[in-house]
Amino acid sequence: MSTHFSSRTPKTRDSLSLSRLLGILRIDNNLLRLLVITVAIFVVMSLLRPHPFLTLRNFRSMSYQFPELGILSIAMMLAMLTGGIDLSVVGTANLAGILAAKLLTTLSPEAAGGHIALLILGAIFVALGIGILCGIFNGFLVAKIGIPPILATLGTMQLYTGIALVITKGYAVLGYLEQFLFIGNGVLWIFPVPLILFVLVAFIFAMVLSKTVFGFYLFMLGTNATAARFSGINNTLVLLKTYLLSGFLAGLAGIIVIARTNSAKADYGTSYVLQAVLVCVLGGINPSGGFGTVSGLVLAILSLQFLSSGFNMLRFSNFFKEFIWGLVLLLVMVINYLSTLYQSRRQLQKTREAIAEVSGGK
């Protein structure tokens, strides 16, 4: 009778189990940092203002507010992943919303019975179509003409806002069908409709970026445009598609905005441009392109929403909040730069040590 002795000692097996567990729990450093920041902000605001902050009413209010910024941030993220930027997302959203609102207010007296659903669908298609056209125009300026994205979209931001001002003469477009307002204020079971739309958009684009060929091309283009071109990727087509999708999302955000506020104005949400950039940078999207995740962006949106809601309850002025957003953006960029520099130096040091080891062995 022979006895089989395992070559793995209990200590070795424990080490392997620990390694396997750490492998399962391993998480991206940036996501972990964001999760800690989000939880810390939530805890601090809960301690400072527990009664108004930790209420169902406050959470429901937040779930109506942040989806429009979240969708605009995803639009901004797509452009930033290519190494560009889309400063026109708010201008596109406002123009799309205003044209949809004009359609609703012009034709609503004639709409009756089954035509109401048709009118609402028409307004939605107009907004999304305008968003797509604006996005294609941005992509044409960047990809075909070769204008730097920051200059092209800065110009189109002013152009789209100017068109919106001409259409409205600076006034708000008011008075929509009650059924249309459901998009911005309705509830399905216990979940607000804007929140459902944001979750769907976030899930779809997380899948697009991680599971599709287009997502791979997008990251390749942002990492190294020259290498992407030589590997057979049509950079021009990828950029056009990217800005088209950015415009589409801006149009969707425009629909949610006018349905939530029951008004459409050319200057609505001017601070959203800065906040969308801040969300992207805080969420780990590399401004130079090539890296970023939707999950990081979602955590960044939640942390900023908790912060904004807490500021409102602490009665901070809007001017102070603008100062805070700018300060946080600068701090995050400095921290990201120092972190990248530290990692590069550490990697260089490891390379030198490895070379010295090989040289010493010889």
| pLDDT at residue 109, as a whole number | 56
Is the four-CA dihedral 291, 37, 312, 318 of positive or negative sign?
A: negative
Q: How many Cβ atoms sit within 10 Å of the Cβ of residue 232?
A: 7
Q: How far apart are CA 206 and CA 220, in angstroms?
A: 16
Contacts of range 159-165, beta carbons closer than 8 Å, 24 or more positions apart: 159/91, 160/88, 160/91, 160/92, 160/94, 160/95, 160/134, 161/91, 161/94, 161/95, 161/266, 161/267, 163/95, 164/91, 164/94, 164/95, 164/98, 164/266, 165/266
CA angle 128, 156, 163 (to 5 degrees): 70
Q: What sign does the dihedral 140-234-206-38 (CA atoms) show?
A: negative
- Given a cut of 50, whether residue 8 has pLDDT beyond it is no
> In which residue are the tokens 């809601």 written?
309
Residue 107 CB contacts under 8 Å (≥ 6 apart), including other chains: 119, 122
Q: Evaluate whether residue 74 is within a structural domain.
A: yes
Any domain includes 136: yes
DSSP 104-117: HHHHTTT--TTHHH
Closest CA to 111 of 186, 176, 181, 185: 176
**Helix, strand and coil percent figures for the chain, each rounded to 5:** 80, 0, 20
Check residue 156 and give its pLDDT. 96
Is residue 281 domain-resident?
A: yes
For 52, the token pair is 């108004």
Is residue 239 in some structural domain?
yes
CB atoms within 10 A of CB 265: 21
Mean pLDDT along residues 209-221: 93
Q: Is 275 helix (H, G, I), strand (E, B) or coil?
A: helix
Contact yes or no for 260/64 (Cβ under 8 A): yes
Residue 218 lies in domain: 53-336
pLDDT for the residue 331? 79
Bigger pLDDT: 118 or 25?
Answer: 118
Give the highest mean pLDDT range of 47-61, 127-141, 324-338. Answer: 127-141
Q: How many domains, in total, are found in the chain?
A: 1
Euclidean distance between CA atoms 18 and 105, whole angstroms: 64
CATH for 180: 1.10.3470
Q: Which residues contact 166 (CB under 8 A, 6 or more apart)?
A: none
Q: In this predicted structure, what is the pLDDT of residue 113? A: 53
For 232, the 3-state DSSP assignment is coil
Contact 281, 329 (CB under 8 A): yes
87 occurs within a structural domain:
yes
Global confidence as pTM: 0.85
Type of residue at 357: E
- For residue 3, is it within any domain? no
**pLDDT one-digit tens code per residue, 142-185:** 999 999 999 999 999 999 999 999 999 989 998 888 889 999 99
Per-residue confidence band for 10, with pLDDT thresholds at 50, 70 and 90: very low
Q: pLDDT category, 15, cuts 50, 70, 90?
A: very low
Q: pLDDT digits over 300-349, tens only?
A: 999 888 888 888 888 877 777 778 777 777 877 787 778 778 878 888 88
Asked whether residue 348 is assigned to any structural domain, the reply reads no
